[in-house]
Amino acid sequence: MKYLTLFMAICCGLVVANLYYCQPLLPLIAHDFGIREAEAGSITYITQLGYAAGLLLFVPLGDLLEKKQQIVVTTTFSVIVLLGAAFTKSFLLLQILCFLIGLFSIVPQLIIPLAASLTTDEKRGSVIGLVMGGLLIGIVSSRSLSGYIGHAFGWRQMYYTAATICFLLVLIIQRVFPASKPTYHGTYSELMRSVVYYIKTYPQLRIASLSNALSFASMSAFWVTMVLFLAAKPFEYNTVEIGLFGIIGASGALAAPLIGKRSSGAVTVVRNISLLGLLAQLLGYAAFYFTGSKIILIVLGIILLDIGHQALQISNQTLIYSLNPAARNRFNTVFMTSTFIGGAIGSAIGIFLFNLGGWSVFCLGTASLIVCNAVVNMKRK
């Protein structure tokens, strides 16, 4: 089980990376299509909206279908749309393809409930922490990898590379992943109605989903806006240099297993861990605000922001998986759909605030999301 969990973590990291390759590439994409960088930035939140749509429409099927084959088929579609993004000559078509990339990159949210179902209640937090650690490493390394490949070979090569990675994963997953039995016996429409029922019935699911959405909004706002900030004066960094900042986010990946061990699923424990995570995020934005030309404050802020988000996500995810084991995929649907809708909104807000008043206005505006999140968490009982 240990090696299978590790491979699941690797798969999550490699597939979720599809959502983030575009971020350091925005200056290159803008130059290629002859558009402003802020306009090119739209593909970041379009990809996240596609992911949210995939979570809503396809992840619940994990309770209705055999998970292994669903993962294989979904990853195969990812290969096709990634190749399409590499070939397209139209920015409008690239936007559509980025939505589809998000739509078919939901595999990590099928793997995480599968991993949770293969372990005991006592070890579930640790398993989720390990898999989430792999997912976060995929996120942070994707930015560094795409920055380097984009600078050396052009942004299209990154999408060729991503398609190749997903194709190889399809071959390996088919051989390695265990088969699973569906936990829900009914129609798709009944399945989706049950999702609405669970939202109405479980207040802890609603609070966890809203809290994680606000947390991811503050995360996404930073990672998109940071590209615009560092590409301008006084830094004027290229895509390789911007992409390297993704490595700093590995601090969150290192913290994930430790947070998982302390996440019992008890409401009071989740509330306390979440509030500590929000404090870390708020301190991170304070560091961003006072950055000026001091790049060390950006580094410190990234570490605090990523660790804070991991504290919220892992503790909340451990909680929702303990609420109703037979409906983990549907609970995960609500949780992660909310998360990526929050991320898409956060990305759009970040670009808007930066264009409105620069870096200081962006930092103050986004920090207000963290304060709102603290109010939400205080309502836990």
Answer yes or no: are the C-beta atoms of 334 and 199 closer than 8 Å: yes
Q: Which residue reads 């560092």 in tokens?
A: 230
> 182: burial class by Cβ within 10 Å (0-12, 13-18, 19+)?
middle
pLDDT at residue number 115: 83
Residue 249 per-residue DSSP state: T
pLDDT at residue number 259: 63
Give the count of beta carbons closer than 10 Å to the beta carbon of residue 267: 14
Half-sphere exposure of 81 (CA within 13 A, CB side): 23
Closest CA to 5 of 111, 106, 107, 110: 111
pLDDT at residue number 139: 81
Crossing angle of the two packed helices 26-33 and 42-57, in degrees rounded to 10: 110
Could you say which residues of the chain have pLDDT below 70?
1, 120, 122, 250-265
The rounded Cα 331 to chain-centroid distance in angstroms is: 17
Residue 36 per-residue DSSP state: -
This prediction's pTM: 0.81
Answer yes or no: are the C-beta atoms of 283 and 304 closer than 8 Å: yes
Q: Which residue reads 């009944």 in tokens?
A: 190
